[in-house]
Structure 1
Amino acid sequence: MLLFGTTHCGAQVLEIRTGEAVPREVREMYDAGLQHLIDSQDQQGSWNSSYRGAGVDGMAVMCFLASGEDPNFGAYAAPMRKTLRNMLRQQSRRTGFFGGSMYHHGFAMLAVAEAYGTVDDRNLWPGESESEQITLAESLELAVRCAVTSQKKNSYGAWRYNPSGNDADTSVSGSVLVGLLAARNAGIEVPDEAIDRAIKYFVSMTSPSGQVAYAGGMGGFDESMARISIAALVYAVARRKDLPQYKQTLEYLKSRLVSGGRAGLGSVEYQNYYQAQALFQGDEESWKKWNQKLIDTLKTRQQPDGSFDGSYGKSVSTCLSLLALALNYRFLPIYER
């Protein structure tokens, strides 16, 4: 890839959001992209990708949930549940790790958090023995425990590719921290200390200019719009908009709405995924301007089969592109301001 207890808390409820109608051009692109994901899904419920794993499965689940598709009824319900089952089977019942890398773990944890409260667990494991089943609440609690345990071993208070890694980078750490914040929003207990330590790491990696370094305690402050967007997003979702580093990163993003800046991390799709959320959380008018530019760009890049191709291949690039557009729907709880 790029890529606490056992008490079950009340799940979040997926409510229909109100607001401006979704533009027709967005709906048409999005529907074509979802159809591509359905057409290219394999028997296990995953996608044939060099980045194959729970994180990619989680991205796909989020694509469907983000446009309001019902995981219990309708044309997309069975494929969504098949992907969720495949994702959950990859999670260690002992450690809670989703496998592959902490990138996969972060995106899978985020997907489970967003699915929790919307998926009827009684319909998730048809015909499976009870020993094979795990509820979304149980999975999410395990995933949180894995992330927190990994962080406690890390001298930076953040995350790297391996759960036992002792170095850290802002890209992997962003994926895990957003997953933890989504779990907390869903009602799962996440220690305040874990969030505070991770935010402290991001503060240490943010320069006064708003640029964000990559790895360790330092690593070069350059114009990576992806890293700047990740930092702005985690500050916002963690409710730390009071931090000067939040204002610095957001202002940097707003100052580059026209030029777009440098993608960094090898993928404009990855940048778009985070920049959409960061701008939406930070400044709606800036997001609207940037969003229209994104729509115009993606209209020219979508393939006849509904896919988007890019640095990470069709499956991942399609998921990231759809999720960058998904703010137009505003269904996912993590997309709320």
Structure 2
Amino acid sequence: MLVLLFAVPARGDRPVPPKLDDAVERALAYLAKQQRDDGWFDHQQRPEGKDGDQSRNRRAITGLTTLAFLSAGHTPDSRSARDAGRYGPVVGKALDAMVNAVPEDGYIGKLDEKPMYTQAIVTLAVAQAYGVEPRADRRLKTHAVLTKLVEVIVAAQAVKKEPAFAGGWRYNRDAPDSDLSLSGWNALALRAAQDAGIKVPPTAIKAAADFVARCYQKEQRGFAYQPGGAVQAGTTSTGVLCLYLLDQNVRPEAADAAGTLPSRMKGEKPFGEYPCYGMFYLTQAAAQASDDVWTSAAKPILDKLVKAQEGDGGWPANWPAESSEPGRVYRTAMATLALTVPYRVLPIYQR
């Protein structure tokens, strides 16, 4: 039975797979077994239950996995299993690992292959956990760490860029251009930190929304990876979600593009090489949109995810075929984040 500890609205009448709760429970059980003794997760399954060499991207993977547990209501508000849901200790160890790893300059992403992805994902995970951390000493330390993490994100956004790229983010913090994928994660991280009480310049949130809006292609009613580029299902999902969450007055581009999501799902590989990533964003975007978009675009994805889950609770390393995404732990974390959208537990995804 899931333990939902955030204040959330009811699931409502939107359709979900009949075995959704069971799929989430089995996914979390699989992920819990993959945690290293030091609290980290790697994108690959642990070899025979032992800790092997850690991947360079363990910080981002740990952030995503932590979000997966949080999205099902398992919080770090106890380091024992009594009060925080069955996986409270798992979340607590992962949160401690991330918080303790943040360097003095706040740039935790610099140690990974794609720095600003890691910066954003760790910031988002820590911000979501911070709100349910009751111990004063841990809250004080986490607040200080979050402040440093946010300062790096804000500074990276402020790097001088051509007008088309202003307000966004790219792989490195000093990059002179921006893309929608990196900008989506970093913008959501800022929103989550702001909601948690961390000082975030309002101009940073607005500038991020403005960049997302510049990626909109009116003729194709969708969003491109960069302004003027080709519209894709994944980038359209990212753009829709961001505009719903970043601006209280939802911009018309968001609703217009959301209406096209069902038709974008009709292709054989709508998300190209990054299907789990795309499924995560589409289900979040559809949840912000209408019942019709949810039923036509998101519900089939949830059905597909439940069907593809393996007996041990994880998703196959080669599913879907011809994907460029890394490992079973990553895929299982992203699948779980998509499946838990109907719970509406994570505060960042509650409009």
Change (3 A) 1:236 1:93: same
The AA in structure 2 aligned to 1:34 is L
Change (3 A) 1:58 1:212: same
How far off is 1:120 after superposition? Answer: 2.9
How many angstroms apart in 2 are the aligned matches of 1:76 and 1:308?
Answer: 20
Find out whether 1:47 has 2:41 as its counterpart: yes
**Partner residue, 1:147:** 153
How many residue pairs get matched? 313
**Partner residue, 1:336:** 350
- The CA RMSD over aligned residues, in Å, is 2.4
Change (3 A) 1:62 1:242: closer
How far off is 1:135 after superposition? Answer: 2.1
How far off is 1:277 after superposition? Answer: 0.8
**Partner residue, 2:66:** 61
What pairs up with 1:276-287 in 2 under 5 angstroms? 276-287=283-294
**Structure 2: 5+ residue stretches without partners:** 44-54, 320-324
Contact 2:209 2:247 in 1 (8 A): no
How many angstroms apart in 2 are the aligned matches of 1:247 and 1:154?
Answer: 31
How far off is 1:242 after superposition? Answer: 4.0
| Larger deviation, residues 288-297 vs 63-72 | 288-297
- Return the match for 2:240 from 225, 232, 239: 232
In structure 1, the residue corresponding to 2:270 is in which secondary structure? Answer: coil
Find out whether 1:221 has 2:227 as its counterpart: no
- 1:40-65 CA-to-partner distances (Å, cap 9, x unmatched) read 11122122325633221111111111
Percent of aligned positions that are identical: 27
Contact 1:90 1:98 in 2 (8 A): no
Contact 2:42 2:62 in 1 (8 A): no
**Partner residue, 1:248:** 256
The AA in structure 2 aligned to 1:221 is A
How many angstroms apart in 1 are the aligned matches of 2:306 and 2:217?
Answer: 35
| Larger deviation, residues 248-257 vs 163-172 | 248-257
Change (3 A) 1:292 1:203: closer
What pairs up with 1:81-160 in 2 under 5 angstroms? 81-99=92-110, 100=112, 101-121=115-135, 135-155=141-161, 156=165, 157-160=167-170
- Return the match for 2:274 from 267, 272, 275: 267
How many angstroms apart in 2 are the aligned matches of 1:247 and 1:68?
Answer: 29
What pairs up with 1:293-312 in 2 under 5 angstroms? 293-309=300-316, 310=319, 311-312=325-326
**Partner residue, 1:190:** 200
TM-score (norm 1): 0.85
How far off is 1:151 after superposition? Answer: 0.8
- 1:192-219 CA-to-partner distances (Å, cap 9, x unmatched) read 211122222122221002232224x44x
TM-score (norm 2): 0.82
The AA in structure 1 aligned to 2:221 is G
| Larger deviation, residues 191-200 vs 96-105 | 96-105
How many angstroms apart in 2 are the aligned matches of 1:248 and 1:81?
Answer: 40
How far off is 1:83 after superposition? Answer: 0.6
**Structure 1: 5+ residue stretches without partners:** 1-12, 125-132
Find out whether 1:314 has 2:328 as its counterpart: yes
How many angstroms apart in 1 are the aligned matches of 2:57 and 2:18?
Answer: 32
The AA in structure 1 aligned to 2:150 is V
Contact 1:96 1:145 in 2 (8 A): no
How many angstroms apart in 2 are the aligned matches of 1:95 and 1:295?
Answer: 36
Q: Which runs of 4+ in 1 moved over 6 A?
A: none
